[in-house]
Amino acid sequence: MDLKEKLLSSFLAFEQKVDIESDLHDVRNEALKVFENKGFPTKQEEAWKYTSLNAVLATDYNILPKNETDVDWKDVKKYFLNDVDTYKVVFINGVFSSHLSSTTHDGLDVCLMSSALTKPKYKMVIDTYFNQIANKEDSLTNLNTAYAFEGAYINIPKSTVVSKPIEILYFTTGDSSNFVQPRNLVIVGENAHVQIIERHQALTDTAMFTNSVTEIFASKRAIVDYYKLQNDVQTANLVDNTYIDQKQESRVSVHTFSFGGNITRNNLNFYHKGERIDSTLKGVTIIGDKQHVDHYTLVHHAQPNCESHQNYKGIYDDRSTGVFNGKIYVDKIAQKTDAFQQNNNILLTDKATLNTKPQLEIFADDVKCSHGCTIGQLDESAMFYMQQRGIPKKEAKALLMYAFTDEVLSSVTIPDLQLKLQKLISMKLGVNIGFEI
């Protein structure tokens, strides 16, 4: 039985644990039908031209999460921020881990999707937001909706500045392969401010597949800083579908740091629902071996006077492959749009490949849209400068690559995360820079 059939037939077993009389279940049923019709994306589709899931779909995955597996804090401590207190929503093989988590209902909700989807007190919020911005055509998003059950539920009331970052961690572990489908919902009220870090991490070298969907709603003047840290093991695969709905004057930034995993696909979608919105999409990709990272971004400028800033940096070693596809739509009504997109890449070997494609569709006539992409080697004059100061070629190269990522790294607003990323990047690049002074 192939994976698609298995997913369709396992749905009956999934229905045993959910309320099939609920409105939500109608949504699930409909979503499953879309997936049944469309199946998994293939390279024949324009949007998946450079990323093939075929090889990783051949694995026989567990579809339904088993009971809670125990993981010791000391074994996973390093995947969390070090020195700052955070809210934590942690899952192991798709099941909530109460002992690793630190949730709250005190003035804000940082808790579980499974509660939000089933408890009556959340029904109004779920009816208003759940599956509202997610793409109804996308087959993997629909597959996730069909099985939507667990994930992080975050609701920040208006004018609340959340004092500490929220960490969402999805661990997979064990000797059998898991197909996990987290579903996150983030609602940020007017003038509220929140910082969120999301990470998917396999703890064993078993093939894993994560098909994740996150919906983020930013109300008027809300500020959301969202960080995705992808440094997974070689056998882990991730398709991340993130949908962001922005109201007027809101500011949302998503930084994606892709340093590992086998196949990583990031579908990042911004939709503007008001004026004077600011959207930031930034990323650093540093991969090697046969790793593959695909950034597929969309910014839909649907209202006047909004800005979007995209800046993706990539460093590709060995036989690794990268994709950047940046779509910008500017509707006719969206005058005075300021949309900026940049994608710079360094290929370290002849065998590394990158496909980069800006895709701008502009229907308004008074806009500022710019895009640029480069694929290159390192600046020779900069190399000579550093060598002249006594820094050998290899180290000079690493230092230059480190500098190349700085534009993205420097806009990370959580100091402890920035430090962690600095260390991760310098480790990846083999740079030995003392940060203590």
Partner 1 sequence: MLTIKNLHASVEDKEILKGINLEVKAGEVHAIMGPNGAGKSTLSSVIAGNENFEVTEGEIILEGEDLADLAPEERAHKGIFMSFQYPVEIPGVSVTNFIKTAINESRKAKGLEDMPANEMLKLIKEKSELLEIDRKFLSRSLNEGFSGGEKKRNEIFQMAMLDPKVAILDETDSGLDIDALRIVANGVNKLKNENNAVIVITHYQRLLDYIVPDFVHVLHDGKIVKTGGKELALELEEKGYDWVK
* Contacts with partner 1, residue ranges (CB under 8 A): 379-382, 384-393, 395-396, 399-400, 402-403, 405-407, 409-410, 432-437
Closest CA to 253 of 221, 222, 227: 227
76 Cβ neighbours under 8 A, 6+ residues apart = 100, 169, 171, 201, 203
- CB nearer to partner 1: give 218 or 409: 409
Helix (H) or strand (E) run with residue 323 in it: strand 321-330
Q: What does the chain come to in residues?
A: 437
User: Is residue 222 within 8 Å of residue 186, measured between CB atoms?
Assistant: no
Tell me how far apart the alpha carbons of residues 130 and 124 are, in angstroms, rounded to a whole number: 10
Which regions of 36-131 does DSSP assign to beta strands (E)?
87-92, 95-96, 109-112
Q: Is the distance from CB of 239 to CB of 265 less than 8 angstroms? A: yes
Residues 6+ apart with CB under 8 A from 324: 295, 297, 312, 314, 343, 345, 354, 355, 356, 357, 373
Give me the least distance between CB of 345 and partner 1, in Å please.
17
Q: Is 213 exposed, middle or buried (0-12, 13-18, 19+ CB in 10 A)?
A: buried
Report the SS3 class of residue 387.
helix
CB of 410 vs partner 1, minimal distance in Å? 7
Whole-number minimum distance, CB 308 to partner 1, in Å? 23
Residue 148 or 401: which CB sits closer to partner 1?
401
Cα(417)–Cα(197) distance, integer angstroms: 9
Smallest distance from partner 1 to CB 255, Å? 15
Minimum CB separation of residue 412 from partner 1 in Å reads 12
Residue with tokens 């083999």: 430
Q: Please provide the DSSP assignment of 388-435 as one string.
A: HTT--HHHHHHHHHHHHTHHHHTT---HHHHHHHHHHHHHHHT-----
